[in-house]
Chains A and B, each alone.
Chain A
Amino acid sequence: MHNDKLKSIYLSLLAAFICMLFPWSGLALTLRPDFMLLVILFWLLRAPNQCSVGTAWFMGLWVDLASGGIFGQYALAYTITTFFAVIYQRRLVLFSSSQQLVYVFSLLFLSQLILLILKTFAGKEFMGWSYFMPSITGVLVWQLAVTFGLNTGRHSHGK
């Protein structure tokens, strides 16, 4: 049971990572949701004992590596974001699905904001407001997953 869960967590994280590695470019890159963070958040809500801030940090490192930026940027953004997710995790169970959506959006937005600050410090250029598009597409992907019956940890969906 326990091992099965761990296995599915790792497999889904791996799948999310491969999604990040797809050769996105142009508009698709602007719209690309942060699959990795979505999957991490999902498991945080679903199985907080198996997936936690440390997992997020570790996966953030891999995303850093893949993006070719300075080590630790994504890791830090994911760490802080998951911290807020963990803090509110118990309350989230009582949320309605639209409330949950707002919550997920704010988390995605937060991680992008942190990343933006870090990248700006590293001397990169802000590319305009379309930078925040992934938060919106991320929420859409989340909603899509919920619509297709993925249990995101709320009681009303509980099996």
Chain B
Amino acid sequence: MMRGIHQNFDQQQAPAFFARGPSPLARLSFFTALSLALMATDARLQYLAGVRENLMTLLHPLQIVANIPTDLYDAADEYFSTHHHLLDENARLKKQALMQDIALQRLNILTLENTNLRDLLNAKQALVETSTLAEVIHVGRDSFTKKIIVNRGKNHNVMTGAAAVDAKGVIGQVTRTYPASSEITLVTDKSLAIPVQIERNGLRAIAFGKGRDNTLDLPYLPANVDIRRGDKLVTSGIDGVYPAGLAVATVIEMKTTQDSPFAHIVCMPAGGIENNRQILLVSIPQTELKNLPKETPTEKAQPPVAASHTDIPAATDSASPAPAQPPQKTEPKPTDKPAVKSQPKPGNPVTKPSANDESGQNAQR
């Protein structure tokens, strides 16, 4: 491609007929064939994963260089943030800390109670998730894919399939890991699916990214399904990828049409999909997962990675009506009574403590 011809640079059209090497058409066909072969290999076969990984390692310093301007800007911004602003923030944080303290105290009591009751019921302990805090290095360099790159990778024990979570909810899943970075596919990407549950009534479904508008779809649900605008979707936890009870999205549109047996449901993701720098990567330990199937055989059906990709909605659907409700879902009912006694809930006339709702909300806090 690079011709080693000594030639004056500004008079390129004077020389040669012959000095140009293979004709443009020949080059075109050669490189087109090469690209097509690459595409086919990368899309259908797995040979290029290792190559990609190595090249990404090469690319890492460049990424850091490219981030310098924004980092500098952030640093300057922080430095010049006003006194007033800091005071404001301080007050707000103090208030928040206080409120969280209260919530935390209650959580401690509940956790204790829950553990005891679990022991009594001989139930399996909830999985302890391992988590890593990561920072976004790159946000979508390609407008087609909703992916971000974060600065934690294999070297930091990040595994493919881990859930990516921010303060407000799930934002995606780790789909590729490189030595020092990893790639997160956002929930709004078309190829990502999340098993969810409606917080209000415990209905299970699978949410798919829409690929544009930053929204999620809930396809394949019948037109008479009990979902309303404003319903909150939380992770159901039956896939063994996402810990149960994390907020995923809110239903913003629910439409049924005459010509379709399915409802048209659009949801807005709860997490800050595009505006967060810090992200928590949560993975359920693989060893615990292996123990899991003894009690609940259906949960084994999907290995973490496969569960999140689009091609198996039917399989997951068929798994959901099975009686394999994770044990932690159903039993908080007895917990409620002592909890209510020790901590009267304001503004909640405790008439019907729906088990699912309670556990979902607690996990969220």
Q: Contact check, A124 vs B9: say whether CB atoms are below 8 A apart.
A: no
24 intermolecular pairs with C-beta atoms under 8 Å apart: A1-B6, A18-B65, A19-B66, A21-B66, A21-B141, A22-B67, A25-B139, A25-B274, A53-B1, A55-B2, A61-B38, A70-B39, A71-B42, A72-B42, A73-B35, A73-B39, A76-B39, A90-B13, A93-B13, A123-B190, A125-B212, A127-B143, A153-B12, A158-B10
CB-CB under 8 A for A21 and B62, given A29-B143, A65-B56, A66-B141: yes
Q: With contacts defined as CB atoms under 8 Å apart, how many contacts are there between chain A and chain B in the complex?
A: 165
Smallest distance from the beta carbon of A79 to chain B beta carbons, Å? 4
Residue from B28, B63, B69, B70 in contact with A80 in the complex, judged by beta carbons closer than 8 Å: B28
Across the interface, which residues of A come within 8 angstroms of B24, CB to CB?
Answer: 52-53, 83, 86-87
Report yes or no: B38 in contact with A72, Cβ–Cβ below 8 A. yes
Q: Is the CB of B39 within 8 A of A67?
A: no
Q: Which residues of A contact B (CB under 8 A)?
A: 1-2, 5-6, 17-26, 29-30, 46-55, 57-58, 60-62, 65-73, 75-76, 79-80, 83, 86-87, 90, 93, 118-119, 122-128, 131, 151, 153, 158-159
Q: Which of B115-159 contact A (CB under 8 A)?
A: 136-145, 147, 149
Answer whether A53 and B139 are a contact pair too, CB < 8 Å, given A21-B63, A124-B145. no
Given contacts A24-B140, A26-B274, 6 further A-B contacts (CB under 8 A): A23-B138, A25-B139, A49-B5, A80-B28, A83-B24, A83-B27
- Assuming the contacts A22-B70, A26-B274, A49-B7, asked whether A70 and B42 have C-beta atoms less than 8 A apart, the reply is yes
Q: Mark B30-45, 1 if CB is under 8 A from A, else 0.
A: 0110111111011100
Partner of B6, one of A2, A18, A69: A2
Q: Please name all residues of chain B whose beta carbon is closer than 8 Å to the beta carbon of A118 when the two chains form the complex.
A: 39
Judged by a CB distance under 8 angstroms, whether B55 is at the interface is: yes
Is B211 at the interface (CB under 8 A from chain A)?
yes
Q: Is the CB of B190 within 8 A of A124?
A: yes
Contacts of B35 in A (CB 8 A): 57, 60, 72-73, 75-76, 79
Interchain CA distance A21-B149 in the complex, whole Å: 11
Residues of B within 8 A of A53 (CB): 1, 24, 27-28, 31
Instruction: Kindly name the residue among A18, A46, A68, A90 whose own CB sees the greatest number of chain B CB atoms within 10 A.
Output: A68
- Enumerate chain A residues within 8 angstroms of B212, measured Cβ to Cβ: 125-128
Complex: chain B residue closest to A55, CB-CB? B1
B39 and chain A: residue at smallest CB distance: A72
**Within the assembled complex, what's the spacing in Å between the Cα atoms of A90 and B66?**
36
User: Which chain B residues numbered 27 to 82 have a C-beta less than 8 Å away from chain A?
Assistant: 27-28, 31-32, 34-39, 41-43, 48, 52, 55-56, 59, 62-63, 65-67, 69-70
Interchain CB contact under 8 A, A58 and B1: yes
Residues in A neighbouring B190, C-beta threshold 8 A: 123-125
Interface of B is mostly: mixed
Most chain A CB within 10 A, of B35, B66, B143, is at: B35
B140 touches A29 (CB 8 A): yes
B19 at the interface (CB under 8 A from A): yes
The residues of B that contact A68 with a CB separation of less than 8 Å are 141-142, 145, 147, 149, 176, 183
Is B345 positioned at the interface, with any CB of A under 8 Å from its CB? no
A28–B147 Cα distance when bound, in Å, is: 16
A118 to B212, CA, bound (A): 17
Out of B38, B41, B138, which one reaches A21, CB within 8 Å?
B138
Among residues of B, the one whose C-beta sits closest to the C-beta of A158 is B10
Question: Which residues of chain B from 173 to 210 have a CB within 8 Å of any chain A CB?
Answer: 176, 183, 190-191, 210
Which of chain A's residues have a CB closer than 8 A to the CB of B94? none
Indicate whether A69 sits within 8 Å of B2 (C-beta atoms), given known contacts A53-B27, A159-B10.
no
Given A49-B5, A55-B1, A127-B212, A65:B52 Cβ within 8 A: yes
Q: Which of A5, A62, A122, A131 contacts B143 (CB 8 A)?
A: A131
Q: Is B333 an interface residue (CB 8 A)?
A: no
The answer on a CB contact under 8 Å between A25 and B140 is yes
Complex interface: chain B residues within 8 A of A48 (CB): 12, 20
In the complex, what residues of A have CB within 8 A of residue B69's CB? 22
Task: Tell me the nearest residue of chain A to B55, going by C-beta.
Answer: A65
Cross-chain contact B191 with A123 (CB below 8 angstroms): yes
In the complex where A47-B12, A76-B39, A158-B10 touch, is A57 in contact with B34 (Cβ < 8 A)? yes
Partner of A49, one of B12, B28, B37, B65: B12
B85 within 8 A of A: no
Residue from A6, A23, A46, A83 having most chain B Cβ neighbours under 10 A: A23
Given contacts A5-B9, A50-B2, A69-B142, contact A122 B32 (CB under 8 A): no
